[in-house]
Amino acid sequence: MSLITLLTDFGLKDGNVGVMKGVILGIAQDATIVDLSHQISPQNVHEAALILLRSAPYFPASTIHVVVVDPGVGTSRRPIAAQLGDQYFVGPDNGVITMLLDFTKKQGLTVKIFHLNQPQYWLAEVSNVFHGRDIFAPAAGHLVSGVSISSLGTSIDNPIQIQIPQPEKMAGSLRGEVIHIDHFGNISTNVKQEHLVSKEVKTLTLNQVSINGMIRTFGERPEGELVALFGSTGNLIISVVNGNAALRLKTKVGDKVEVFIQ
Amino acid sequence: MSLITLLTDFGLKDGNVGVMKGVILGIAQDATIVDLSHQISPQNVHEAALILLRSAPYFPASTIHVVVVDPGVGTSRRPIAAQLGDQYFVGPDNGVITMLLDFTKKQGLTVKIFHLNQPQYWLAEVSNVFHGRDIFAPAAGHLVSGVSISSLGTSIDNPIQIQIPQPEKMAGSLRGEVIHIDHFGNISTNVKQEHLVSKEVKTLTLNQVSINGMIRTFGERPEGELVALFGSTGNLIISVVNGNAALRLKTKVGDKVEVFIQ
Amino acid sequence: MSLITLLTDFGLKDGNVGVMKGVILGIAQDATIVDLSHQISPQNVHEAALILLRSAPYFPASTIHVVVVDPGVGTSRRPIAAQLGDQYFVGPDNGVITMLLDFTKKQGLTVKIFHLNQPQYWLAEVSNVFHGRDIFAPAAGHLVSGVSISSLGTSIDNPIQIQIPQPEKMAGSLRGEVIHIDHFGNISTNVKQEHLVSKEVKTLTLNQVSINGMIRTFGERPEGELVALFGSTGNLIISVVNGNAALRLKTKVGDKVEVFIQ
């Protein structure tokens, strides 16, 4: 298996994702490359961290995830590679691995992080604005070709991490927030089943709207009804059956949700 | 050949298509995966059925088409797999195969359909909201790896089918409707060359606009002219030469077209 | 290596890109296919020429670039294939290769161009509206399978070329124009480092706005500042640090820029 995924904020119109693939395939002609997303909001490291966390666990061992959401490109921010359990990461040291790193550590798996400082594994010319092409794609290409991760750079133990908002436990409720809105308008919150312990959800409120209880599957309610359920990532989500909850509730990432439990 | 296509309404921003590919490649590392579309309108089974019909015949024998436009996910709607001539289908039993099934039967080719009810070919944990990841991707992965389609479930002969609008023959005309509007704004109708028998198109009307006769190719007319011709799928289409007919005529799927023949 | 790239104005919703891949893989099952872009503005040959120029040099030798931005489909415009240095091109003879052809010639590399007129390398049925599927995909499939480029058609030496705007040298300045706006809103101009010879940029103006001097990397300036720098393609670009310059300046392709040098 020689599998690489790409996760960027590049969009798909300018050819830059294709160019990264050309660079990888020039180094590792048998690599299989999968797109995770190229529609991360520009420079939104937090959103990329979430998509990486949600996607990586479904990939086979030794998959290399190249993430290029990189507002600090060309500055002193370090390029890094990491082994996170049986998955690999290549990208900027800007906190985009925070959630996957936490997840890996909680499972007690191996974590090794390296500062990419061996230019022989980069393109000969490195621009100040496109390290996806010039550093990260070639590093991933060499890694998938059999170069060991420790050859790519120097071991470090202080990767940048970003603050991940956690739900706050109140008497009788959990105060969380909206962390993602998907293509269908489903609203994902940072409240997870594990936060409820053995309690049940009585009601929840978001943007002055209340929802009573939770359902297990969309089919339990008629089309157009506003519902709460646990989504495919284990997060509490708010949805409209075959509709768009985010548009209906005018919700955005960061909006507060309160979940009353009993 | 171990070729799988994916056709969904997931969009490309959330990583869900990538996750399905990760699941497939974890089971069948040599699979080649091609995207048909991930921009089917949310829950639009009819649109997915049309894109599947238009695409599948151009793929080599034994290609597996995984379709996840699935408004009934988590309900009692069955997950199915089908052999349709030399092509395979994996997805929900909601009628999305209707057009390809009809096409296959008209050619007198083999049709076999199976209710996917063997959970050993699914992910260990099956959510209520993402069967693309939990059931359909792994089923396709096993199928492409050599598991026989009949091992995946129980033979059935009553798949759900949807109503496909057919043009109505009047004295001197055919009354059809708009079935698709493509990226360029070309308006595709359900009137096909075979419906004309040996007659010629005299004029046609759509949304109070008339077009005289048909052309064979865009280059016959100047840029900006409204024309009718047979498109690459054999359907009568209405176009603006190097322009956008759907915007010009404010057309939507379901609008009525009348084709006067002589 | 058997690598094919696709560059079209098809968008991603209608399945047409997938169909081209099905045709290619039916002929050349081991081909690796990479998308460059399918979001070229409809019929914009100039934009496709630029994306092709910027992408092709990053691909390994013998890569075949299939470009289908084809306003003249179905007319007498020729289908062609070309060897341009160590890269190959397949697509319409409408000038889309102009920039890559110039680049190849400047490097003194081999150029060979062929009129595709051997229908045995096409699909059996050729429509008047989708040569990407019917001619270009199968031609690329045969080429990657080992058919020689000279077998696909007749040698020609008069490919259509389009006019590429060049910056004009004035006393103390260069007058150029905007040639591309990327997904981030970065504004790319046709002024390149080589045009400055050994001079420095003093100031530049675009749409009544002046920018003083140039920076080397985004990190030199605070978020939200309007800056000029050399982009990853060597072109002078105008950007907003972690923002969208094209929206801020209401810029479009073709807008004039004047670069004052000293």
Could you report the per-residue pLDDT of A179-220, keeping only the tens digit for each?
Answer: 999 999 999 999 998 898 888 999 999 999 999 999 999 989
pLDDT of residue C196: 86
pLDDT given for residue A74 in this prediction: 85
Residue C48 pLDDT greater than 70, yes or no: yes
* Average pLDDT over every residue of C180-185: 97
Partners of C38 on chain A (C-beta within 8 Å) are 12
Q: Which residues in chain C have their CB less than 8 angstroms from residue B5's CB?
A: 18, 22
What is the residue whose two structure tokens read 């209401």? Answer: C250
Average pLDDT score over chain B: 96
Q: Give tens-digit pLDDT for C16-40.
A: 999 999 999 999 999 999 999 999 9
Q: Averaged over B164-181, what is the pLDDT?
A: 95
Is this model's pTM higher than 0.90 or not? yes
DSSP per-residue letters across B211-226: EES--SSGGGS-TT-E
Query: Which chain A residues are closer than 8 Å to C63 by Cβ?
Result: 22
Q: Residue C23: which of C119, C128, C135, C118 has the closest Cα?
A: C135
Confidence band, pLDDT 50/70/90 cuts, at residue B95:
very high
Flag if A217 and B71 touch (Cβ within 8 Å).
Answer: no
* Contact at CB, C12 and B38, closer than 8 angstroms: yes
User: Which residues on chain B place their C-beta less than 8 Å from a C-beta of chain C?
Assistant: 1, 3, 5, 7, 12, 32, 34-40, 51, 54-55, 58-60, 63, 180, 182-184, 216-219, 229-232, 242, 244
| Beta carbons of A160 and A221 less than 8 angstroms apart | no
Question: Alpha-carbon distance A80 to C183, whole Å?
Answer: 25
Nearest Cα of chain C lies from the Cα of A10 at a distance, in angstroms, of 7
Contacting B with CB below 8 Å, chain C residues are 9-19, 21-23, 25-26, 29, 33, 42-43, 71-77, 127-130, 133-134
Residues 6+ apart with CB under 8 A from A183: B10, B11, B12, B13, B14, B42
Upper half-sphere CA count for residue B257 (Cβ side, 13 Å)? 31
CB contact under 8 A, A60 and B26: yes
Interface probe with B: pick from C10, C19, C130, most Cβ of B within 10 Å: C19
- Supply the ipTM of this predicted assembly: 0.96
Location of structure tokens 């990208």: A91
pLDDT attached to residue C239: 96
Rounded to an integer, the average pLDDT of C192-197 is 88
Q: What number is the average pLDDT over the span B159-188?
A: 96
Whether B21 and A34 lie within 8 Å, measured CB to CB: yes
Q: Read off the pLDDT band of B1 (50, 70, 90).
A: low
Low-confidence ranges of chain A (pLDDT < 70): 1
Chains contacting C (3+ CB pairs below 8 angstroms): A, B
H or E stretch including A89? strand A87-92
pLDDT of A219 reads 87
Instruction: Identify all chain C residues contacting A21, using CB atoms and an 8 Å cutoff.
Output: 34
